[in-house]
Copies of this chain bind each other. A is one copy, B any other.
Amino acid sequence: MASFEMVDRDGLARLGRLRLPHGEVATPALLPVIHPGKMLVPPERMKRLFGAEIVITNSYIIRGREEFCQMALKEGVGMLIGWDGPVMTDSGTFQSYMYGEVEVSQPEILEFQRKIGSDLCTMLDIFSTPETPEKKAAEQLEETIRRAREAEELFYGRVPGAGGRGPGDDKRSRTNDDGPGTPNPEPGTRHPEPGTRNPAPGTPEQQGLVLAVQGGIFPALRERSARAVAGLECAVQAIGGVVPLMENYRFADLVDVVMSARKELDPSRPVHLFGAGHPMMFALAALMGCDMFDSASYAKYAKDGRMMFNNGTRHLEELDHFPCSCPVCSGSTPERTRKLPEEERTVRLAEHNLHVSFAEIRTVRQAIKEGTLWELVEERCRSHPALLGALFRLGRYAGLLEKYASISRRGAFFYKGPESSFRPEVLRWSERLERRYEMPPADVTICLPEGPKPYSRHFYQTVSEIESRWDARFVVASFFGPVPLELDGMYPVAQSLVPDELDGESIRRMSEAMKRFSHRLKTPFSLVWEGPGSLSALEMMVQPRKTPLDDPEMRRVAATADMQFGAGAAKALLSGRLELVRSPNTGRVRNVLSDGQHILSLRATDGLFSLRLPGAERLRRAFPPPALRVKVDADAAVFAAQGKNVFARFVLDCDPGLRPNDEVLVVDGTDALVAVGRAFMVREEMLAFRKGMAVRVRRGAGSRGGDAENDGD
């Protein structure tokens, strides 16, 4: 069947590779809708001008027109529309929504799609509208689920008792809401004959089935629908019934619909958001984990003179100047364009709409690559208050988003507005600080104001003067909440850019976080630093220090270890005779040695540790399974021990607390440490994906392979 692989990621969003009979498609992907009857822009031009790799057309329309039908059956759908690449076909569901019932059964339309050689064949689901009342939507959903099961059977056939791997079953029973679980066929087996088109050379992939999620605007129904789809075999999981939401700018409701579905869908398959053809949506949809979009709008809009932009829609009539750099716009003016003959004008506008849409897809891909998709979404959501409302709504799903958010990323954290405090990094910082950070005992805690970073350099004078006289701890009131001075190098604090003047909302959140933190303080006194004047207060309140000054860098190492690996990690790691190796240039700590063993390296990029085998072994002994571990089967263990990466299909289990880019212990069935590396996937993904890397191994236990200083990953 069609196979999907995740090659890079930013939270739920990912850069993927979808292999189909007629070629490979990079995701996120935009599928221009091709109407065999009226093509404004022929597919061949779609490829040349915009780099389109896959298109979508409607099998119901083709089947309904004798000449289309005959040609498609004879030559294949590709020939019909003049395109030799992958084709997805829709089933007529949308027509049933637009014009009431359709005169075709699901078996008929599915068989037809297969016969005409579509790469992705879509089920015939029931389109529930946002107006559909809950009871009705539930009934319609039951029928959609019934048809989904029927479609799976028609398409892949049933395999009595076929087992698949343990975690696969485990996964199935986790996601499948109808009992013991659907069989989980191995790739490329037991598939019916492909359609009349011959798969392109070198792609053994089979045609894939597209199952749809429905359920109206009711999150519980969407969840149930998604669980059902996840429990069945299919190539693509589509979210349907959302067009009216987007047409009416009900983006906050769209967030509820997509997120409640995404939560339950199989993370190893691409998610298609049906009808999301407006570039102003792409970044937000990708952030919610959608991989594919189809656009009929580029043509529909062009026909009534509307131009799409990534911040909205404008009518040609209302423009004096083109607010766009695309070839269509930079080559002409609105006035000249208005004067063109209608047909030519419509084509120009359609090409503008496609230029802007594909550029936005490229923008989203680049943002995912850099890990800056949140920043992009916060920019895009500025274009309409309804999108901003959607961003606020997304705050309700901070927990789910945090689970998939990388532990650190390439780009800096840019503050964009009050909603930036919904970002996973902010939630994670406050949670970990509360659960994992213990302030070392002292006589007084001093709260420093926000300032240039790194704080410890900015406040160096103040801090060293105070420490020379008192046993004090320091915490900075930052946008992320309280930042103990010894953690000021850790992502995202040191890598964040926040304006000097903050909005009231962020300030409120900051002070609340500071309050919560100060309640946990164990020092007898605490003091808000207001400059040298505050010294007198210290003199009155606090006894001069009796204990010797401890090494602040050692404090940094200990605090970072607990924040990164969990409370108790410092104790486990930092035993024996410790030695901090500093960079000759920066003077910053680079490596931590214990009894001569290199246990940790401190990365300059994000202020977090890279694990060395001895350090990993200490953590393994201190933390019971499954903490910090990825458990792999015997064969994979051998490879990992040689320093080779771990692939998802060999993962038996994984710590649910692990996040992308977390340092992980690779262990075998006996919990013996076989390697250290960085996680690329989270647990759900490792157990679901059949392709792709789960852990990038830095060093194997049974090998000299790998590079102890390789912190590049």
Contact = CB atoms under 8 A, between A and B. Distances in A.
A163 B382 CA distance: 52
A499 B386 contact: yes
Given A384-B497, A503-B419, A324 B323 contact: no
A25 interface: no
Interface in A447-495: none
A323 B252 contact: no
A504 interface: yes
A499 B323 contact: no
A388 B499 contact: yes
Contact of A320 (B331, B365, B418, B504): B365
Given A384-B414, A415-B388, A355 B325 contact: yes
A580 interface: no
Nearest to A249: B497
B385 A497 contact: yes
Contacts of A159: none
Interface in A386-426: 386, 388-389, 392-393, 414-419
Interface stretch (A76-84, A356-364, A528-536, A558-566): A356-364
A307 B665 CA distance: 41
B311 A330 contact: no
Interface string A502-514: 0111001100000
A50 interface: yes
A365 B333 CA distance: 13
B321 A366 contact: yes
Interface in A79-124: none
A393 B501 CA distance: 8
Contacts of A505: 418, 503-505
Nearest to A386: B499
Interface string A343-360: 000000000000110110
A282 to B, nearest CB: 12
Given A330-B359, A504-B504, A323 B366 contact: yes
Interface in A215-254: 252
Given A359-B322, A382-B378, A385-B415, A504 B500 contact: no
Contact of A498 (B322, B378, B383, B385): B385
A508 B504 contact: yes
Contacts of A509: 504
A359 B329 contact: yes
Contacts of A325: 324-327, 355-356, 358-359
Given A366-B319, A383-B379, A501-B392, A327 B327 contact: yes
What is the total number of copies of this protein in its complex? 2
Contacts of A356: 325
B362 A323 contact: yes
Contacts of A321: 362-363, 365-366, 369
A508 B506 CA distance: 12
Given A379-B311, A389-B500, A504-B508, A359 B327 contact: no
A49 interface: yes
B359 A388 contact: no
A46 to B, nearest CB: 13
Contacts of A504: 418, 503-505, 508-509
9 contacts: A322-B366, A323-B359, A323-B366, A388-B416, A388-B499, A417-B418, A418-B505, A504-B504, A504-B508
Given A252-B501, A385-B499, A503-B505, 14 more contacts: A321-B363, A323-B363, A325-B327, A325-B356, A326-B326, A329-B362, A330-B355, A378-B382, A389-B501, A392-B499, A393-B501, A418-B503, A418-B505, A504-B504
Interface of A: 49-50, 252, 311, 318-327, 329-331, 355-356, 358-359, 362-363, 365-367, 369-370, 378-379, 382-386, 388-389, 392-393, 414-419, 497-501, 503-505, 508-509
